[in-house]
């Protein structure tokens, strides 16, 4: 006599897997849309700062808070891929690591050629 698979268990497992991968797909779509919105040309212009130190301070503060809109305003429309990728968790971790290191030591020096 052959053992029959428990169809109820197979169905539940399939439903759980379908729900899990569906949620991943939706999350991926949300992040892809966020990146598309971030890279789409719009009325937001790149921020300017009175000094290099002010620019560095603003970048560090925005990274520490992972303020995506502020980071995009600082790096400008061509720098969106530096801020937003397909991996939102890794983006946030990189920003936190950057800001932590920058808070340890930041030095802005003027280029004599500029």
Rounded to two decimals, what is the model's pTM?
Answer: 0.59
User: In angstroms, rounded to a whole number, what is the distance separating the alpha carbons of residues 36 and 62?
Assistant: 20
Q: Containing H/E element for 6?
A: none
pLDDT at residue 110, as a whole number: 84
User: In angstroms, rounded to a whole number, what is the distance separating the alpha carbons of residues 112 and 87?
Assistant: 39
pLDDT at residue 5, as a whole number: 53
Please report the sign of the dihedral spanned by the C-alpha atoms of residue 61, residue 65, residue 69, residue 75: positive
Mean pLDDT over all residues of the chain?
Answer: 76
Distance of CA 3 to CAs 6, 12, 13, Å? 9, 19, 19
Pair of tokens at residue 50: 């009175």
Q: Residue 77: pLDDT band by 50, 70, 90 thresholds?
A: confident
């Amino acid at each position: 006599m052959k053992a029959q698979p428990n169809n109820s268990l197979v169905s539940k497992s399939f439903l759980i897997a379908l729900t899990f991968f569906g949620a991943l797909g939706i999350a991926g779509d949300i992040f892809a849309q966020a990146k598309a919105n971030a890279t789409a040309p719009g009325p937001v212009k790149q921020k300017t700062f009175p000094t290099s130190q002010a620019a560095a301070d603003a970048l560090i503060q925005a990274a520490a808070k992972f303020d995506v809109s502020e980071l995009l305003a600082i790096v400008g429309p061509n720098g969106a891929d530096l801020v937003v990728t397909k991996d939102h968790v890794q983006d946030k971790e990189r920003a936190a690591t950057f800001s932590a290191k920058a808070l340890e030591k930041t030095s802005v020096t003027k280029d004599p050629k500029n």
